[in-house]
């Protein structure tokens, strides 16, 4: 089968890798391929036999399935860019973390280009599960795509023939999951400042004994530092989703701000040089919390 991967970041690379291992042809395109930032993508493509295209149109040409895996804010723009080429009745699987409204706009653009749009909602972190990550499908073409995806190795399940249901499920989940991560980081950094982090961890464990809070904290810090920018965009879409329900999205909006704040600290080098030695190198969340606190004190910290 011939597939096109639009967006060749963490998710795109993992899916392309697993599809290539199964013997399928994969062509990928990412805007970063036009700059030095695309060097890791080019290296990955060479290592795994993924063909790299020079435009959205050339990537999707002749593809039976197009997978859109970009940042949330680019959901509609990517659908529009791909719609510039004839999709020849191919499936367009949109796995971006976007609001139901954004998915419906994207679906209209794809339909006009002759493609069959399917709303995809990735329901947990991709790396541990890889291509087998739980995936909800939505829209009138979801039932037709489901068996094809599962034959490719996905763990896909139709949520609804109605567009927006799958993405609404994901976005409402994100209000809780991403919100918990933002709250825990905020709480732990503050606790570290006051020297009460051990007492806090002990109290959390007493209330929720089934969670290894030390391990969870390290994971939350690492993922937020690595992917804060992408997650802030996702949470803006979650806020849009909540607003579409007629509710003011105070929690979702606050989480988006906290994730963007972490991303800004990364851009300022608080967590080290990502290009040289990577972010979040320590398994101890306290080291990352101390870096945040040191930065907050400013140049007068002595």
pLDDT in tens, 213-250: 999 999 999 989 988 999 999 999 999 999 999 999 99
Spatial separation of the C-alpha atoms in residues 250 and 257, rounded to whole Å: 11
pTM for the whole thing? 0.88
User: Mind listing the pLDDT tens digit for each residue in 23-72?
Assistant: 999 999 999 999 999 999 999 999 999 999 999 999 999 999 999 999 99
Answer yes or no: are the C-beta atoms of 256 and 235 closer than 8 Å: yes
Which positions of the chain have pLDDT values less than 50? 300-302
Spatial separation of the C-alpha atoms in residues 86 and 67, rounded to whole Å: 15
The pLDDT value recorded for residue 302 is 35
The pLDDT value recorded for residue 88 is 87
The pLDDT value recorded for residue 3 is 97
The pLDDT value recorded for residue 301 is 41
CATH superfamily of domain region 2-162: NAD(P)-binding Rossmann-like Domain (3.40.50.720)
Task: Locate the domains of the chain by residue range.
Answer: 2-162, 168-301
Q: Which CATH class is domain 168-301?
A: mainly alpha
Tokens 């803006």 locate to 236
Reduce the DSSP state of residue 6 to 3 states and report it: strand
């Amino acid at each position: 089968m011939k597939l096109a991967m639009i967006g060749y970041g963490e998710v795109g690379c993992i899916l392309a890798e697993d599809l290539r291992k199964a013997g399928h042809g994969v062509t990928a395109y990412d805007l970063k391929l036009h700059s030095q930032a695309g060097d890791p993508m080019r290296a990955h493509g060479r290592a795994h036999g993924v063909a790299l295209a020079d435009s959205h149109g050339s990537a999707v040409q002749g593809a039976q399935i197009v997978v859109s895996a970009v940042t949330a804010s680019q959901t509609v723009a990517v659908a529009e860019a791909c719609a510039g080429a004839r999709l020849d009745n191919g499936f367009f699987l949109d796995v971006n973390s976007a609001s139901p409204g954004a998915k419906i706009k994207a679906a209209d653009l794809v339909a006009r280009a002759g493609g069959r749009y399917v709303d995809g909602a990735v329901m947990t972190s991709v790396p541990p599960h890889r291509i087998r990550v739980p995936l909800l499908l939505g829209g009138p073409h979801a039932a037709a795509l489901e068996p094809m995806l599962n034959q490719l190795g996905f763990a896909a399940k139709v949520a609804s023939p109605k567009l927006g249901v799958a993405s609404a499920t994901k976005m409402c989940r994100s209000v809780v999951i991403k919100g918990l991560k933002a709250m825990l980081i905020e709480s732990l950094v503050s606790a570290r400042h006051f020297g009460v982090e051990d007492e806090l961890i002990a109290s959390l464990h007493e209330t929720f004994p089934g969670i290894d809070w030390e391990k969870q904290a390290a994971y939350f810090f690492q993922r937020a530092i690595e992917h804060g920018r992408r997650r802030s965009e996702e949470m803006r879409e979650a806020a849009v989703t909540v607003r579409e329900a007629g509710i003011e999205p105070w929690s979702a909006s606050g989480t988006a701000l906290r994730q963007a704040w972490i991303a800004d600290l990364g851009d300022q080098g608080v967590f080290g040089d990502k290009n040289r030695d990577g972010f979040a190198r320590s398994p101890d969340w306290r080291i990352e919390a101390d870096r945040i606190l040191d930065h907050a004190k400013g140049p007068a910290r002595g």
